[in-house]
Amino acid sequence: MTTDEARGSLWSDLVNGLLDARTDPATARFDAELASAVAAGELSRRTAQRLRFWQRAAVNGAEDHARSVVPAVLGVLETARSEAQAYVEQGDATMEAAEAAGTPAPPERPRVTPEPVSTAAQHAEPPPTPQTAIEDLRRASAAGTGRPSTLEGPAPRLFIADLRDVPATDRH
């Protein structure tokens, strides 16, 4: 059994144990109310049986859902915690290496503003010809636009690029 399988089994056992330990006074009250209604002639015995059946089916369905979904979610959360810790450790190592090398802090990353929403008139324009498409690519990838080139891949992520003092009003 792999570590992931063992962890998944642990989460399943935990959830199953918690669900099995649950007491259900609402179901006992439901049964008492049905019995009272049948005894008073307000509800037929057959209707009471059908209501009891579907009430139990609803509870069992919710428990089955929890038994299958919650262990998987707990496993994903555990993986996310591990990945977040690894990210912090990698960032810490990067920061220490930069400080040890005496590297100055990188410039602040420029903010990217979203493109304006296109209008119906823009959609009505004729499709670009191959020549205009090439010109658009050249223009979009030209230096000096203040925007990243559309012909290049994403820039490598620098962990220390976002280290800066942020006023309390700018924090998310």
Instruction: Give the pLDDT confidence of 60-110 residue by residue, as tens digits.
Output: 999 999 988 888 888 888 889 999 999 999 988 888 888 888 876 555 556
pLDDT, position 163: 47
DSSP per-residue codes, 152-172: S-PPPP-GGGG-S---GGG--
Euclidean distance between CA atoms 144 and 149, whole angstroms: 10
Domain ranges of the chain: 3-100, 120-170
Sign of the Cα torsion 81, 82, 86, 89 reads: positive
Place of tokens 């399988």: 5
Least confident of 17-21, 23-27, 88-92, 103-107: 103-107
Instruction: Give the pLDDT confidence of 82-91 residue by residue, as tens digits.
Output: 999 999 999 8
Q: What is the pTM of this model?
A: 0.45
